[in-house]
Amino acid sequence: MELKDIDHLFRHHSGKMVSVLTRIFGLEHLEVIEDAVQDTFLKASLSWRKQRPEHPEAWLTKAAKNRVLDIFRTLKSQKKRSTSFATGTDAIAINELFLDAEIEDAQLRMIFTACHPKLDPRDRISFALRTVSGFSIKEIASALLTKEDTIKKRLLRARKAIKKEAIKFYIPQGKDLSERIESVMEVLYLIFNEGFHSNTKKQLIREDLCGEAMRLCQLLLTRKDTRLPEVYALFALMCFHSARLSAKTNVNNEVLDLKQQDRALWHFPLVQLGNTMMHKAVETNDFSCYHYEAAIAAEHLRAKTFEDTDWNKILQWYEALYNIQPMPSHVLTMAVISIQNKDYEKAEAYFKNLQPETLEQRAYLYYAAKADYYKAIDNLEGALEHLEEALSHVTNSLEKEYLQKKFASWQRS
């Protein structure tokens, strides 16, 4: 087993263990639990260098169960049960909480805790990646293009809010569930998007983030009360986007836009799974933003070639999406679609309704799209000027190389 495989297993398993142990001991002891789990896995990684266990995940589960006793002693249980804990009825209860279904339940509780409305929205994604997905502070900072100190402050703020507001470790019901699940889906969507189009400097794609978002979304679909049309639509969207991951870069790790991608590399079993999810998502007529985004992604996948793309249909879906979710990024995309349709007046109108700074870290996309617009109307000077501006804003090295090649090509034309 390679080191990266061990890291993946530890990360995946630590999220499970933190969730289960939090269910046992309570959110007030979350920091102690996280430290204990991290310490256990550190010791495991050292022992595995000498000899890897035959069943690594079972080994980790047993280690986590044994760690329960250590935590119990650390927390000095008020009933002082630690001496009989390993053999009494409590041990049976603990063993039951480590069953697969109970682990899933504990993780769902943690997801809903991470997305509680009393937590600052900026803190939720960091807290979810830490507690549910087992990401280190360094990994979260890298994924969110934020300083490690900022992530530490966000996690500390989240823990303080949990204690101050006496937040409970449970899955809400009724009206509370419908309100909270919107926040849950938003966090999962953000995690997936960061994986699909990373803000990090050296990686365009973070498959671990995409996979984690999909795993957590699947957890929502395991329960009847969270198996909602919009959750099916979100999972379908993730399937559609994931189907194209292997085609987004070439063998030289260079960025390929949709026109350049080899569609034979698209993973059609994921497309089929996404289609199945979409059939379930449209059993009602109440459509969410995830329904429209999934429909847009499906339209791209339906086209056998880039030239076969039905841009009018995609623009129609984007207009519907913008009506329920007016965001600058949607306006920018509608401008790009209008360029594809050679409707330059409409494209210009969309650009006039945009301020690049509203796109924040994605501002370079505005300048790159405006460059394409000027190139399309035969204004090479304007095109090169805006491409230079895009290059000054882009942070990802792969995208920078892509734009530099385009700039050099246009200079020669």
Which of helix, strand or coil describes residue 249? strand
- Tell me which of 44 and 85 has the higher pLDDT: 44
Which of 407, 393, 367 lies closest to 199, judged by CA?
A: 393
Write the DSSP assignment of 254-320 as a string of letters: -B--TTTS-GGGS-HHHHHHHHHHHHHHTSSS---HHHHHHHHHHHHHH-SSGGG--HHHHHHHHHH
Domain residue extents for the chain: 1-98, 101-221, 228-326, 338-413
User: What sign does the CA torsion over 40, 43, 46, 48 have?
Assistant: negative
Beta strands in 63-128 (DSSP E): none
Which of 278, 109, 127 lies closest to 190, judged by CA?
A: 127
pLDDT band at 3 (very low <50, low <70, confident <90, very high): low
Percent of the chain with pLDDT over 90: 47
Confidence (pTM)? 0.80
Write the DSSP assignment of 11-61 as a string of letters: HHHHHHHHHHHHHHH-GGGHHHHHHHHHHHHHHHHHHHTT---SSHHHHHH
- Taking the CA of residue 42 as centre, how many other CA atoms within 13 Å lie in the half-sphere pointing to its CB? 7
Average pLDDT over every residue of 401-410: 93
pLDDT band at 140 (very low <50, low <70, confident <90, very high): confident
Average pLDDT over every residue of 279-295: 94
Over residues 160-171, the pLDDT tens digits come to 999 899 998 989
| pLDDT at position 288 over 70 | yes
Q: Rounded to whole angstroms, what are the CA distances from 323 to 158, 216, 287, 340?
A: 33, 28, 12, 22
Amino acid at 400: K
Instruction: Calculate Rg over the CA atoms of the chain.
Output: 24
Over residues 343-394, the pLDDT tens digits come to 999 999 999 999 999 888 889 999 999 999 999 999 999 999 999 999 999 9
Mean pLDDT of the chain: 85
Write the DSSP assignment of 134-164 as a string of letters: ---HHHHHHHTT--HHHHHHHHHHHHHHHHH
pLDDT band at 44 (very low <50, low <70, confident <90, very high): confident
Q: Which two tokens stand for residue 72?
A: 């119990």
Average pLDDT over every residue of 144-149: 81
CA–CA distance, 47 with 52 (Å, rounded to integer): 8
Q: What is the pLDDT of residue 141?
A: 81
| pLDDT at position 192 over 70 | yes
Cβ atoms of residues 320 and 292 within 8 Å: yes
CA–CA distance, 375 with 384 (Å, rounded to integer): 8
Per the listing, tokens 């007016």 go with 326
